[in-house]
Structure 1
Amino acid sequence: MRIHKRLRRIGVALAATAMLVGVTACGSDTDSGSSSGSATAANGEFPVTVSGKFGDTTVESAPTRALPLSPQDADILLSLGVTPLALPVDAQNLAATGGTGVWPWEAEALGADVPPLLNMDGGATVIAEQIAALQPDIIVSTGFWGLEQNTYDQLAEQFPVVHFDYRANGEPWQDSTRKIASALGIPEKAEEVIEQAEVDLDAAKEQYPALEGATYNAIIGDTGGQLSVLAADDRGIGQFLNSLGLELSEYANTLQVDADGRGVLSYEEISQLDADLLVVVSPTGDLGYLTKFEAWNRLPAVERGAVVSLARNTGMPNAVGFPSALSLKWATDEIAPMLADAAAKSE
């Protein structure tokens, strides 16, 4: 009976906050700094303790059954060579992946070994029962926006919960990778995958010199009659674009920044968005929500064709907005050439 009550409390907490990272968000917390979280042991020694916003987590022995609570956490596990017990999904993720719940970069890593889906839209009872049935020995939640203090407390009664220090998806992917790897007892693997990802990004930067110093604006989407745009280049999609040598426009840097690195402007201010190239997060690649405005069509970048559309149903915004070593490798192959082509049109 006590177990059922505990599961019920976990389910209620999860149901109250089970909104996974949405594809329209591409940022992180301004307070994150560059903390990688503390660990009291290294080199595979246990027990190991890692820091977290809601409490430090101690892992007593090497975990073998890791359950991620966000797609980004699943990506980090896969980048470390660990197959998750399940892949967390929601309605948006399923719609964008044709119902499979598997992003293209995950499919490459998984091959035929696709774990079951953990549907975070399934309701309190379903979520709690699925977590219990999977019998994890560690929960990974650095990118799950639904993790709050009460949720953490209920989960931590049964499982070590490795989570963020400041905010979900609010810390550099390198730091999250190091924290998760430390908890798994494979800290050296984190350094290996981080180094390789950074080598790949540097190689892409060298391959596409037209990107160096080119200015950009990134339009994330419509937010109730206003445009949401990237206003800080040190988080989310901005980190990826910066790593290739692109520079956020001076105008975007003047906008008030929210906790996710975004600013808003009215459609009357579209004329302020010109830059060497424009990056647009779109539902399916169609830019109709912008091209209906003559001010957009008159932007010099638009007239030159220096516009890159990242369609949500391709996974591109997720690959760079919620990055991991795994997703960034895919993004450098798929997105960097598109950016270079657009930048070349400004020359």
Structure 2
Amino acid sequence: MHAVRRRSFAAALLVTLLFVAGCTGANSAAPETDTSENSSGAFPLSVSHAFGKTDIPQKPEKVVTIGWIAHDITAALGVTPVAVSSTSSDAGNGYSPWFEDQVENENNDELPLILTQTSDGPDYEEILALEPDLIFAPHSGVTEVQYERLSEIAPTVPYEQEAWLSGTWQHVTEFAGTVLGESERAEQLIKDTEQTIADAAAEHPRLQGTTIAFGVNLFEGSDQLSFYTSPEDPRVALIHDFGLVDAPGLSELEADGFTSSISLENLNDIDAEVFVAWGKPEQSQRTLDNPVAQRWAPIAEGRYYFTEDSDMTMAMSAPNVLSIPWLIEEGFLDDVEEALDGGAVIRSAP
């Protein structure tokens, strides 16, 4: 078996399985509104979404965000939320490092309240006490019942089509810009982030055209590996933006929700030059120790990059204008390139 080199980063351990349930692609068209001048930040405006329409009378200033991604983009647009959903992080404090940096160092604000989650959804009384003028949940699992209750507190904008379906990172940024009256700033963020991606890709020419299988390491008792295969999944779309391409064989797999799975016995049908996956440390070891998986070329030849780090997993799973630059700065592409050379890279949980 190829020797494994592990990388550690200082913070507390916290790896969650929530990533299986979120983040896939959706319609990337511009958000539908009833105000012809909304691109310039005009209010009032009416925003269409999965549960109907929401009227926003004026530019929001006290925003509560629910789910993934929204809090990052809201903060990047200069509006620090008053409360956010907890984010799985290595620090274990409910905030990602890129969100903390944006709020404290760029916006010069204090970190917002972490929302309490109950069996019925968010703590409505807690949100009511904050007196928000907008509740924003474009990448979330908010139900229609929860939407109705939240709408009694403040104008609420959930996802446009389906739960956990917010489209590309560009689209959800544009959507947030419209809702928050910061469309021009959103467009600039998109341009800047696309340039950051292009520059990073140019610095790693060997990755251009490299075939990749991107998935999740083995769960206990499983005899299958699962891969992300939808081109509209933001995880997959970001990988493509970096110049990597889907490994032959992936398109033949039948999708089951957010992933496509294949029996370990048929792994050789996936002709990947590099295997990228996330999971807890025991999942990494389970994959590496499995005698059938060991026969798959990326495992046998050490051409894999595993992350057991919650921050990196979240950055890969919910890419946005804050997390993408962080992922690049943290050496994701450097590590994938090293894995391509047989470096057997594992980014360990701290």
Q: TM-score, normalised by structure 2?
A: 0.83
1:149 aligns with 2:147: no
Deviation at 1:98, TM superposition (A): 3.6
CA distance in structure 1 between the partners assigned to 2:136 and 2:342 by the alignment:
43
CA shift in 2, pair 1:322/1:125, >3 Å: closer
Alignment partner, residue 107 of structure 1: 100
1:201 aligns with 2:197: yes
Deviation at 1:329, TM superposition (A): 1.1
CA distance in structure 2 between the partners assigned to 1:280 and 1:52 by the alignment:
33
Q: Which amino acid aligns with 1:151?
A: Q
Match of 1:136 among 132, 135, 144: 132
Q: 1:256-295 residue pairs with structure 2 within 5 A?
A: 256-260=254-258, 262-284=259-281, 287-295=284-292
Alignment partner, residue 10 of structure 2: none
Residue aligned with 1:113, SS:
coil
Alignment partner, residue 189 of structure 1: 185
CA shift in 2, pair 1:25/1:177, >3 Å: same
1:300 aligns with 2:297: yes
Contact 1:274 1:299 in 2 (8 A): no
1:162 aligns with 2:157: yes
Contact 1:27 1:321 in 2 (8 A): yes
| Structure 1 spans left out of the alignment, 5+ residues | 1-19
The 10-residue stretch of structure 1 (248-257 or 293-302) with the greater mean CA deviation from structure 2:
293-302
Alignment partner, residue 227 of structure 2: 229
Contact 1:24 1:281 in 2 (8 A): no
Alignment partner, residue 54 of structure 1: 51
Deviation at 1:176, TM superposition (A): 1.4
Q: Deviations over 1:237-277 (max 9, x none)?
A: 211111111011121111012342x1112233333344110
Match of 1:172 among 168, 177, 184: 168
CA shift in 2, pair 1:76/1:126, >3 Å: closer
Alignment partner, residue 71 of structure 2: 74
CA shift in 2, pair 1:303/1:265, >3 Å: closer
1:218 aligns with 2:209: no
Deviation at 1:288, TM superposition (A): 1.0
Alignment partner, residue 118 of structure 1: 115
CA distance in structure 2 between the partners assigned to 1:24 and 1:192 by the alignment:
31
Residue aligned with 1:83, SS:
coil
The 10-residue stretch of structure 1 (298-307 or 78-87) with the greater mean CA deviation from structure 2:
298-307
Deviation at 1:200, TM superposition (A): 0.4
CA shift in 2, pair 1:286/1:140, >3 Å: same
The 10-residue stretch of structure 1 (61-70 or 103-112) with the greater mean CA deviation from structure 2:
103-112
Q: Which amino acid aligns with 2:92?
A: G
CA distance in structure 2 between the partners assigned to 1:344 and 1:117 by the alignment:
42
Q: Which amino acid aligns with 2:269?
A: Q
Report percent identity of matched pairs. Answer: 24
Q: Which amino acid aligns with 1:76?
A: I
CA shift in 2, pair 1:72/1:50, >3 Å: same
Alignment partner, residue 33 of structure 1: 27
Deviation at 1:54, TM superposition (A): 0.7
Alignment partner, residue 23 of structure 1: 19
Contact 2:193 2:321 in 1 (8 A): yes
The 10-residue stretch of structure 1 (55-64 or 214-223) with the greater mean CA deviation from structure 2:
214-223
Number of residue pairs matched by the alignment: 317
Deviation at 1:319, TM superposition (A): 1.0
1:343 aligns with 2:336: no
CA shift in 2, pair 1:119/1:337, >3 Å: farther
Contact 1:87 1:117 in 2 (8 A): yes
Q: TM-score, normalised by structure 1?
A: 0.84
Contact 2:216 2:277 in 1 (8 A): yes
Deviation at 1:158, TM superposition (A): 3.0
CA distance in structure 2 between the partners assigned to 1:46 and 1:126 by the alignment:
28
Deviation at 1:291, TM superposition (A): 1.3
Contact 1:178 1:187 in 2 (8 A): yes
CA distance in structure 2 between the partners assigned to 1:82 and 1:140 by the alignment:
12
Contact 2:115 2:122 in 1 (8 A): no
Contact 1:282 1:310 in 2 (8 A): yes
| Structure 2 spans left out of the alignment, 5+ residues | 1-15, 344-350
CA distance in structure 2 between the partners assigned to 1:25 and 1:119 by the alignment:
20
CA shift in 2, pair 1:98/1:327, >3 Å: same
Q: Which amino acid aligns with 2:69?
A: Q
Contact 1:70 1:141 in 2 (8 A): yes
Structure with more of its chain in helix, by fraction: 1
CA distance in structure 2 between the partners assigned to 1:50 and 1:68 by the alignment:
16
